[in-house]
Structure 1
């Protein structure tokens, strides 16, 4: 982001593009901590009480493939069309953000499935979603401040800290395609945003994160992922990352999957598929109600939960299966009376069954947190701050308190909005984060002088009358190294041809020798045109890696001609 864009900012607007839900928040420069969120997301099925400040990350396309609706409106319209059998050709996409997690060869051609299982390229869906949120936001802010121009706005887009560079670039490219000025766009790491917002909370929370030298872990537990960072408060008040970001696919959607697997066993795959086709409003009501039950599930308060199942689902099941629902319940591997019927449209489920749905993602999260807290670098960390929509779950909190008793667990109020609000503060003051820890070793592919005594024969190449060692990994920064947000590393060399083609690589290895080593991955390339009028040996190239910010930037400049070029990410091609 250009520094002059920061100085001209009158308003900071942040988008939280989540796996399950999305939303935005904003505040004006003259009162940065007075953060406003949209209050009006509305679910037609009466489930608006669940997530009134966010709306589902769902996109509806019309039969021409054009954007029609987003969020609750998208799901409700699709369901209404289906009721009248008019949904043919319409396409609904939900929860497609997870395609960016752990996608090793991410490109803009990556595809996702719509509600009926048909594939489509994901990138346009991200563009449409961000465009919708941006336009919704613009309507909200321009009613408050007459004469506000879009050039007065700085946009912040939150991304998981565990995402790799390609996924971050994918999101940036989508935002730019959606009409956001690239010079007025900042990516923010979600656990850092949580840290930043916690400074503004009551003294109990503030004391844990704002005192000089305090070290703490932030666990951002959303619908798709657990995203974990460890921070230290420096004497100047800025944040320093003291351990590289980590996490995994342990979010709330995996509990939903387990619940749907149970319904599958009880009612049959065909009945659930038919429900999605013929009674879609009922299907959405079932999933939205479970979202509420999941978030409020607390073993201290209740021994059973009551979930509504549509009568139409039961009817569909009975059409396809000769066994009664009670018989199908008894065939499940649960203890007697753990699941019982209540009338025609309710199931009473024992907490032991509900706990089993949470088990896999929460077991993995807790196992990971225990191994992290045993690391020598963060052994002094005694506070864990839990945020994110899934982090609001009392049962998740209970498991963490019981199984990691040596740390103090803090759950801020409105944990699902903490990241979004912190992102707005970050936009007003990005310098609040002063250093980060590298997740990868970064470098370029270069030639080195060949030494037959120590280098393998197959690596040598003949260039300009001399043997050279090919495919060497020239390291610019190493994994686990702490770097300042403004840190730059430069290397100088001489061009050998009209076009200098420099591949940029990364690896989790600390000391890679060759770019062909196991685990080395091509991240992108820099291509720079050199002068043919000046002898190459008289030209000088400077390659600069700009580290420490939320996004990596690689630049190459010919200091004689003045020409320069930036790295093109593989996912951008």
Structure 2
């Protein structure tokens, strides 16, 4: 977002610089309306979002950006400041301080005007008095920060009688009702309990709710979270560029080639979210020729020499041409580690609470939540509760203390019990993605048939019990040249993202067969 100082447009209007800000002494004499106090102190709002960055960079190319101020990611000042007042300041793009409160006022006012324009365009007859404004705030903000936001909204001309504050993860929870069938089914059914993790640029907010029969939400646990957003990954990336190209070169690039500077930031933001971690060993990041030229201007060392001087990762970074770097995925992965480790530990702590036993679903939302790496880490490290007991059909040796006489049959010279349910994992047990359970046995025929069953019972005895369901049968051919009692079979259950993978392998011959079944909802 950018603030523009009021420029001198008439001989009677004067400006002066005080306390690192432009002030106007007189208003334009030909204006019909006297500008309000805030605009005279802080300037006028011009643009928001990427448009603000693009305009600022365009002005800088022609050296016309003096008097214009660009502010990025100033929202975090409300979290970092423990003694928050309306006098709190933030730095603009060039490092100059300014009071933060008017920035919030202007941002909210922009959003309000944007909404009204969209409503007017799309539907006739709606008055602003018909609108209830809901202003979202991170769950980890304290009461001072929330009051700060409410006051900013009122100063942005929003009627306080039609203004409510809501926690961001709670709003995300409601939004999930509009999504696909799988997600909607997990959050919209009466009695369902679920966790929403809202992972944005600055903060991670976690809320836990239960859907009531009347459609309302009941808070299961107070919203919580921490400063574990995506900006910490970005900061690690910029620290690497600082080591490779030098602080002076980056500072000069920001001043002289601002478009290139913003392109570097956006390029990495895109890579951070979309890289395919399962098929990627390295990432190519595009920089700019101008950055390398500036680095050579300020340092006698070549880029290759600066890479070789790195304390770590020196063998994991390779220049590609004049404007690219090849970075091993392990390097980028290390930048994610601290914030995601803290987030996962927090989620595990919450799920360990007794009141959280019925929470079956974790929903990840927010910009940083789009990262495949983040999704993969959470899937692997947050255990899932199984809704079924899974196992196979086996013969068990007859034990009169376990089985009634009418269950036994004479098989291969022994009394055995057929149709027994051999359990690999039980209902409500917690399993992680890629967790494996393996059991061993001995074949008794040329073809081994592994019949996979599931049931909602926790302790099933027979596959013929009510509710037992056959998922499929795996056929494996054994050797007839080796005595069956000398061959060894291994049956492995592996739980993936949404599937159950079952493999039967003859360890003696090396032959194997497998099937995949739907497991989690």
Q: Per the shorter chain, which TM-score range?
A: 0.5 to 0.7
Equivalent position SS for 2:276? coil
2:213 maps to which of 223, 232, 235: 235
| Superimposed CA distance per residue, residues 236-284 of structure 1 (whole angstroms, 9 cap, x where no aligned partner) | 3221101111100000111110100000100011111111111100000
Equivalent position SS for 1:229? strand
1:398 maps to which of 356, 370, 376: 376
Equivalent position SS for 2:219? strand
Higher relative contact order (CA 8 A, sep 6+): 1
Equivalent-residue separation in structure 2 for 1:202 and 1:95 (angstroms): 31
Distance 1:334 1:149, change over 3 A: same
| Superimposed CA distance per residue, residues 129-167 of structure 1 (whole angstroms, 9 cap, x where no aligned partner) | 111111122222212223432212222211112221111
| Superimposed CA distance per residue, residues 387-412 of structure 1 (whole angstroms, 9 cap, x where no aligned partner) | 1111111110001111113369xxxx
Alpha carbons 1:384, 1:407 under 8 Å: kept: no
1:314 maps to: 292
Alpha carbons 1:62, 1:68 under 8 Å: kept: no
Q: Does 1:300 align with 2:243?
A: no
Q: How does 1:250-269 map to 2 (within 5 A)?
A: 250-269=228-247
2:195 maps to: 217
* Higher deviation after alignment, 207-216 or 299-308: 207-216
Q: Does 1:93 align with 2:71?
A: yes
Q: How does 1:383-532 map to 2 (within 5 A)?
A: 383-406=361-384
| Superimposed CA distance per residue, residues 477-532 of structure 1 (whole angstroms, 9 cap, x where no aligned partner) | xxxxxxxxxxxxxxxxxxxxxxxxxxxxxxxxxxxxxxxxxxxxxxxxxxxxxxxx
* Higher deviation after alignment, 329-338 or 318-327: 329-338
1:129 maps to which of 103, 107, 112: 107
Equivalent-residue separation in structure 1 for 2:73 and 2:384 (angstroms): 35
1:557 maps to: none
Q: State the Cα distance separating 1:290 from its structure 2 match.
A: 0.8
1:203 maps to which of 181, 204, 216: 181
TM-score, normalization by structure 2: 0.65
Equivalent position SS for 1:86? coil
Q: Does 1:140 align with 2:114?
A: no
1:60 maps to: 3
Alpha carbons 1:160, 1:227 under 8 Å: kept: yes
Q: State the Cα distance separating 1:350 from its structure 2 match.
A: 0.7
- Give the count of matched residue pairs: 351
2:261 maps to: 283
Distance 1:76 1:62, change over 3 A: farther
Equivalent position SS for 1:69? coil
Equivalent-residue separation in structure 2 for 1:354 and 1:393 (angstroms): 12
Q: How does 1:35-46 map to 2 (within 5 A)?
A: none
Q: Does 1:380 align with 2:371?
A: no
Equivalent-residue separation in structure 2 for 1:327 and 1:113 (angstroms): 34
Equivalent-residue separation in structure 1 for 2:361 and 2:116 (angstroms): 38
1:245 maps to: 223
Alpha carbons 2:172, 2:365 under 8 Å: kept: yes
Q: State the Cα distance separating 1:202 from its structure 2 match.
A: 2.7
Equivalent position SS for 1:305? strand
Alpha carbons 1:198, 1:205 under 8 Å: kept: yes
Q: State the Cα distance separating 1:383 from its structure 2 match.
A: 1.5
Equivalent position SS for 1:300? coil
Equivalent position SS for 2:251? helix
Alpha carbons 1:214, 1:232 under 8 Å: kept: yes
1:83 maps to: 61
1:425 maps to: none
Equivalent-residue separation in structure 2 for 1:129 and 1:369 (angstroms): 32
Is there any run of 5+ residues in structure 1 with no aligned partner, and where? 1-57, 409-573
Q: State the Cα distance separating 1:336 from its structure 2 match.
A: 5.2
Equivalent-residue separation in structure 2 for 1:110 and 1:163 (angstroms): 15
Q: Does 1:189 align with 2:167?
A: yes
TM-score, normalization by structure 1: 0.59
RMSD: 1.6
Equivalent position SS for 1:101? helix
Equivalent-residue separation in structure 2 for 1:230 and 1:325 (angstroms): 49
Equivalent-residue separation in structure 2 for 1:154 and 1:335 (angstroms): 52
Equivalent-residue separation in structure 1 for 2:109 and 2:255 (angstroms): 29
Equivalent position SS for 2:141? coil
Equivalent-residue separation in structure 2 for 1:61 and 1:249 (angstroms): 31
2:150 maps to: 172
Is there any run of 5+ residues in structure 2 with no aligned partner, and where? 7-21, 23-42, 387-521
2:312 maps to which of 334, 341, 349: 334
